């Protein structure tokens, strides 16, 4: 399926040690850019999560947030930082030697001291296993949300393609008559301007200049590119870069159509095509 680069998914998992939460959100980006937001105690699992996410995603600026809330009954006993406790006691003694009347540190003061209480570390292997399993589930939901958004964008693109194909079909039968009319007007002007030119020379000049306003090839290439857009959308998968290239090609042909136009209707069609192509290009920027 066609996938948008915009997506969101979030799940929580109850473990024996607490509640693990993992959230993914993304927006469009030229390449794949994954940023992680994890608590320090889970920092060791980031490489494994990055590898798993990178193997699943192709493009987009992705933010992965991981949180963990310990269960009170599952928490292992905390420990005091012995080195810090000794240094703090030594400093307290030095201060009281200079200021005997100063109030000493209380137990509450010591326990609140930054870095004094050391929580028992989480089992790294178990946490990595839980995080990887939860990420796999979140990626499934995340991909589904991107596919739902991608299907909406796909329909928008197909609607624009259908309109462009209609415009090309409308203008194509007009081209032979327009070229013939242009030849007649050009021949008349040449005869009026240079009466001495022979008829064969006039005919050659008319054919040469008329070939420059014949847009049959541009219309054929437009039709070919539109068929390719349909094929890519039907094929699905990572289509963003290929469609972005086709938008450039479509725009090139529409511009040439407008520059070679000698008819108001063809000029109008060229302008409408460029508007539709720009609308498609904006949507294609959101596809993976």
- Residues 181, 236, single domain; the answer is yes
Claim to verify: residue 142 and residue 158 sit in the same structural domain: no
269 and 162 part of one domain: yes
- Amino acid 208: pLDDT: 59
Contact 28, 6 (CB under 8 A): yes
Q: 205 with 256, same domain?
A: yes
Classify residue 38: in a domain, yes or no: yes
In a domain, 227, yes or no: yes
233 contacts: CB under 8 Å, gap ≥ 6: 2, 154, 157, 158, 239, 243
C-alpha distances out from residue 7 to 23, 37, 44, 207, Å? 11, 17, 26, 56
- Asked if residue 27 lies in contact with residue 61, where contact means CB atoms within 8 angstroms, the answer is yes
Q: What's residue 172's pLDDT?
A: 86
Same domain? For 111 and 193 the reply is no
Say if 33 falls within a structural domain. Answer: yes
Both 130 and 35 in one domain: the answer is: yes
Q: Do residues 41 and 104 share a domain? A: no
Are residues 142 and 231 both part of a single domain? no
Q: Tens digit of pLDDT per residue, the chain (288 long)?
A: 889 999 999 999 998 888 999 999 999 998 999 999 998 888 889 999 999 999 999 999 999 999 998 876 555 556 777 788 888 888 888 888 888 888 878 888 887 777 776 555 677 888 899 999 999 999 999 999 999 999 999 999 999 999 999 999 988 888 777 777 776 776 676 666 566 556 666 566 666 565 666 788 889 999 999 999 999 999 988 889 999 999 999 999 999 888 877 778 888 999 999 999 999 999 999 998
Rounded CA gap, 236 and 128, in Å? 33
Domain of 26? 7-74+123-146
Q: Flag whether 239 is in a domain.
A: yes
Question: Number of folded domains in the chain?
Answer: 3
**In 10 A of CB 200, how many CB atoms?**
8
Element (H, E) at 70: strand 60-70
pLDDT score of 136: 96
Asked whether residue 243 is assigned to any structural domain, the reply reads: yes
Same domain, yes or no, for 65 and 180?
Answer: no
Residues 142 and 11 placed together within one structural domain of the fold: yes
Does a structural domain hold residue 161?
yes
In a shared domain, residues 102 and 190: no
Which CATH number does the domain housing residue 266 bear? Answer: 1.20.140
For position 210, what pLDDT does the model report? 59
Position 85 scores a pLDDT of: 83
Return the CATH number at 61.
3.30.230
pTM of the model: 0.69
Q: Is residue 2 part of a domain?
A: no
Is 1 a domain residue?
Answer: no
Whole-number Å distance between alpha carbons of 190 and 127 = 85
Whether 168 and 280 share a structural domain:
yes
């Amino acid at each position: 399926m066609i996938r948008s680069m915009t997506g969101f998914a979030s799940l929580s998992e109850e473990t024996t040690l607490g509640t693990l939460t993992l959230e993914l959100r993304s927006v469009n980006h030229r390449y794949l850019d994954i940023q992680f937001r994890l608590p320090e105690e889970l920092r060791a699992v980031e490489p494994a999560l990055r590898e798993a996410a990178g193997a699943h995603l192709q493009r987009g600026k992705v933010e992965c947030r991981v949180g963990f809330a310990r269960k009170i009954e599952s928490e292992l006993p905390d420990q005091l930082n012995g080195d810090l406790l000794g240094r703090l006691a030594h400093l307290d003694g030095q201060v009281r030697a200079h200021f005997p009347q100063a109030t000493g540190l209380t137990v509450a003061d010591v326990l609140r001291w930054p870095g004094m209480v050391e929580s028992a570390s989480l089992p790294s292997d178990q946490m990595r296993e839980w995080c990887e399993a939860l990420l796999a589930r979140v990626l499934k939901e995340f991909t589904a949300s991107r596919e739902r958004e991608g299907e909406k964008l796909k329909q928008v693109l197909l609607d624009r393609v259908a309109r462009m194909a209609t415009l090309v079909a409308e203008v194509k039968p007009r081209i032979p008559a327009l070229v013939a009319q242009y030849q007649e007007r050009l021949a008349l002007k040449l005869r009026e301007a240079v009466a001495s030119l022979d008829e064969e020379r006039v005919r050659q000049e008319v054919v040469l200049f008329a070939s420059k306003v014949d847009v049959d090839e541009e219309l054929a290439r437009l039709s070919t590119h539109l068929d390719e857009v349909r094929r890519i959308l039907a094929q699905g998968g990572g289509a963003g870069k290929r469609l972005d290239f086709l938008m450039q090609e479509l725009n090139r042909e529409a511009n040439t159509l407008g520059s070679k136009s000698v008819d108001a209707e063809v000029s109008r069609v060229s302008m409408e095509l460029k508007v539709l192509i720009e609308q498609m290009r904006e949507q294609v920027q959101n596809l993976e």
